[in-house]
Amino acid sequence: MSGNGNAAAKAEENSPKMRVIRVGTRKSQLARIQTDSVVATLKALYPGLQFEIIAMSTTGDKILDTALSKIGEKSLFTKELEHALEKNEVDLVVHSLKDLPTVLPPGFTIGAICKRETPYDAVVFHPKFVGKTLETLPEKSVVGTSSLRRAAQLQRKFPHLEFKSIRGNLNTRLRKLDELQEFSAIILAAAGLQRMGWQNRVGQILHPEECMYAVGQGALAVEVRAKDQDILDLVCVLHDPETLLRCIAERAFLRHLEGGCSVPVAVHTAMKDGQLYLTGGVWSLDGSDSMQETMQATIHVPAQHEDGPEDDPQLVGITARNIPREAQLAAENLGISLATLLLNKGAKNILDIARQLNDAH
């Protein structure tokens, strides 16, 4: 074969068409379903690429006898996946955005936030209580949740109920609900139940006046190496502008409060007529003390466009060069402003006490 022929063969070998993109995910059924949906979108956009899914267990999947808030590790469901990214064993990782801390380890960034599904929480009832609501459950009924945020808000709203930690993936939690006589109901993210095709188990959807949701809940995030421009370019088309801006505001609020899963912090966002509304709240562990406020900012949901390169394009761990920077900064400032307002009104005291009590128990 001539030199030119060799070069052509080599070029074909190295062309993007031959490239295999390795996608990291947790092993749970829900994580696989979420990853499969992102990969299906990427395959449709890039039919010439191949995708290989690599599943692994994380610390959070292995430690099932301890409440999440007690483990004291911010990257419970992400550390092993990030380790694989760092070692170049995978090219991108699909997460539930709410599992990703607001400050990522150096060298990583969120390269895409996909269109959000419902961010609300859902109540699944034990078969003998189907048709009930939290309000109509018998006195002292036990409700399972692994979240301090849910327990604090719902204890305040439904003082006749008792709340107890329940761990495990969705399948495990539903099995515990159905087979043990311990729980009358459990609280789960509605989006997860939808993705699993288990909408028929949803007995009640909790709206923000009953229970505000976790930062980033209902949205999927694609984490990549911050300097891997090829992969960043590949995944940035997945950004949903409205979801992105709402989640930047939510994450900036949480980061400025220095909240995490060891304190009850919740949000609600809405985009309407060029205004981004952010409601944020903090609660004591038992829900008896709370504080919440709403602020808004003018932000136009942009059509995607290409920005020039920037020194530090990340905001709250997210890189979105194809969404106007001005809109992203306005969303971040809204989150910071709301957190500052709550801190000035005494939220730090509520959070500090919640943290101390959680550490002590």
Residue in this structure with the two tokens 């960043």, named with its chain if needed = 232
Within 8 A by CB and 6+ apart from 348, the residues are none
Could you say which of 99, 121, 228, 240 is catalytic? 99
- Where are any strands of DSSP class E within 208-273? 220-225, 265-272
Tokens linked to 281? 């709240």
Alpha-carbon distance of 317 to 347, in angstroms, equals 24
Burial of 49 (0-12, 13-18, 19+ CB in 10 A): middle
Query: How many C-beta neighbours within 10 Å does residue 251 have?
Result: 28
Query: How many C-beta neighbours within 10 Å does residue 40 have?
Result: 11
DSSP 52: E
Tokens linked to 196? 């699993």
Active-site residue, 286 included: no
Residue in this structure with the two tokens 């995708």, named with its chain if needed = 51
Cβ 125 vs Cβ 203: under 8 Å: yes
Residue in this structure with the two tokens 């801006």, named with its chain if needed = 245
Q: Active-site residue numbers?
A: 99
